[in-house]
Structure formats: structure tokens, C-alpha cells
Amino acid sequence: MDKLNIYKLFNEHIKLGKVLLDEPMKKHTYFKIGGPADVMVLPGNIEEITKAIRICKENNIDYYLVGNGTNLLVTDKGIRGVVIKVEKNLSDIKVEGTKIIAQAGSLLSVVSKAALNHSLTGLEFASGIPGTLGGAIAMNAGAYGPEMKDVVTKVRCIDREGNIKEYTNEEMNFSYRHSRVQEESLLVVEVELQLEKGNYEEIKKYMDELTEKRTTKQPLHLPSAGSTFKRPEGDYASRLIDVAGLKGLRYGDAQVSDKHCGFIVNLGEATSEEVLHLISVVQKTVKDKFGIELEPEVKIIGER
């Protein structure tokens, strides 16, 4: 089925959300990089998400599930098929005692603020992590030690067949930057977090300290996908890249940040190919010098 017919098909079924044709992915990633998606669907609720997935399955249409694109690098040729984007339309947050029940499109920073407003401690580490709660669960996001797995009790997901399933913390198979979501290409729709009662001023002070640490050490003023590489066992990717002499290395408008070597940043009009070239140079140099294979943390999708 060609993209125009796919577009028409989804317009017949998606009423609360939006359907976009040839949508530039650079508008939907923090990297500000990426060619067009044939069709992008912005579902209005959980029912429309399941409907969109089933339409793709029934018509053998390739599809990709994305949040707000914080750790995404889309290729310059873009994405063939359908992108189902879950963000603002699924952002309800409820606080029940020491529990927070939030939809997957909620920004992690907003969920953390809700915890602060109710004097709940345990989520401070996530206050400065960009992206949605769903994306944070998918990759078991963490910072300065704690990870999402430390506070999650239940996760509701939609599987590849469009069925809603619920998993406990143990069933999520959390590990470093990994979860069951990645294993089975699930889509997170709602998360239950268990926090503890704390002191508002102490929680706010800690969050402010972490914010200060991020803003002074990370290149937040430039587009990127966050940490480009996963942390190798017993070391840090940023340290290895720095010692290898790659700080500030530039190819086109892609650059190994001269502020934090763990980030590859977009200086203006960087292409996916430029970023991928830098990733390969960094990987080869670090492997040659230290015998360590750096694994990308950034998710790369699209036609190559």
C-alpha cells in the first residue's frame, strides 16, 4: 500500500488525534535531525493507539512507536511506513497517597514536579531527564545512581497485536538501559510508581542540586540525543572518549561535545550520516586504544 492510501486509511479511523503525511522527523527529535515519515499518527487516546497498531498489523504496514524523541536518531532518508507518536494526548497524572499513576506521554520532568508538589521522595534523579515517562521505562532511564526500576511497581503496555497487558516490576526484566519493552517492542501506556513521603524543602534542594550539575556539565544548549553511548562495565564512555583525544572532534555539523564527551551534538544543520560517521570513528578509536566496544545508547531508526 502506498503512503497516500495509508494516510487515507488512517484518516478514516483516527478522529480524536491527528494523521500527518510526509512529516519531517527533525521536528520530532531532540537531535533536530531526520527525514520524513511517510505517515505519522498522533493518537488521541489509548483506544486510538490500539486501533492504529491493529490497522498496521491487518494491512502489513511497517510501524514505529516513538515518544518525544529524546534518544532518537532518524536517518536522512526518513521512515517508510507509519510512526505512531505517543506524547501530549496521553499525559494524565494522578497522585494517590505515596503512589503516582501517570500516562506514558507525561514528561518525566512534570511527573517529578508532581512528586515534589506532594512531598514524595524517590524520583528526584529523574527531574532533569528529558523525555516521556514511557521512554524512560522502555530504556530504564537513570541518573546519578538510581534508575526507573527502583520506583516502578506496575506498567501497562500494548503489545504488537494491539492487546493491553500489565506487568509487575519483576516481569519488566529491567537491567541497565534495558527492559521488556525493548525485548518485545511493547508500547507503554501507563505506569504506577511507588514513592515515599519526604520533606518538600529537602526534595527541592536535591532536585536543584542535580539541575545545577546537569546544566554546568552537559551541553544542554545544543540539540543532541543525550548520552550517545552506554556506560561500559567498570568505566565511563565520556572518560574513554576524552582520553582518546576525541573531545571536540567535528564532522560537518556533528561534533563530539567539547563540554561533555559523552554527547554528540548538532551544531546547526547536522545530518544523520554525519552523526553516524562520528559514532563509528569514536567506536573504532576507543576499541583500538583500549580494547573496549562502545555500544550506542541512542536509538537509530529509518531507511539507510
CATH of the domain at 260: 3.90.78.10
Going by C-alpha positions, the residue among 135, 161, 10 that lies closest to residue 66 is 135
81 and 98 housed in the same domain: no
- pLDDT, position 67: 85
Question: Would the pTM of this model clear 0.85, i.e. be above it?
Answer: yes
Q: How far apart are CA 81 and CA 61, in angstroms?
A: 6
Is 210 part of any domain? no
Average pLDDT over residues 126-143: 90
Average pLDDT over residues 100-106: 95
The reply to whether 297 belongs to the active site is: yes
pLDDT class for 81, splitting at 50, 70, 90? very high
Per-residue pLDDT tens for 269-303?
999 999 999 999 999 999 999 999 999 999 999 99
Average pLDDT over residues 112-117: 97
Q: Which domain holds residue 155?
A: 93-202
Q: Which candidate in 106, 127, 177, 192 is catalytic?
A: 177
Per-residue pLDDT tens for 27-42?
999 999 999 999 999 9
The reply to whether 160 belongs to the active site is: no
Going by C-alpha positions, the residue among 21, 42, 31 that lies closest to residue 74 is 31
- pLDDT, position 137: 96
53 and 134 housed in the same domain: no
Is 12 part of any domain? yes
Q: Which candidate in 147, 190, 192, 297 is catalytic?
A: 297
Going by C-alpha positions, the residue among 10, 15, 68 that lies closest to residue 39 is 10
CB proximity list for 52: less than 8 A, separation 6 or greater: 10, 13, 14, 41, 43, 63, 82, 84
Helix (H, G, I), strand (E, B) or coil at 200: helix
Q: Which candidate in 106, 112, 227, 272 is catalytic?
A: 227
Question: What is the average pLDDT score of the chain?
Answer: 94
Q: How far apart are CA 100 and CA 151, in angstroms?
A: 10
The reply to whether 227 belongs to the active site is: yes
pLDDT class for 14, splitting at 50, 70, 90? very high
Number of domains in the chain: 3
CATH of the domain at 180: 3.30.465.10
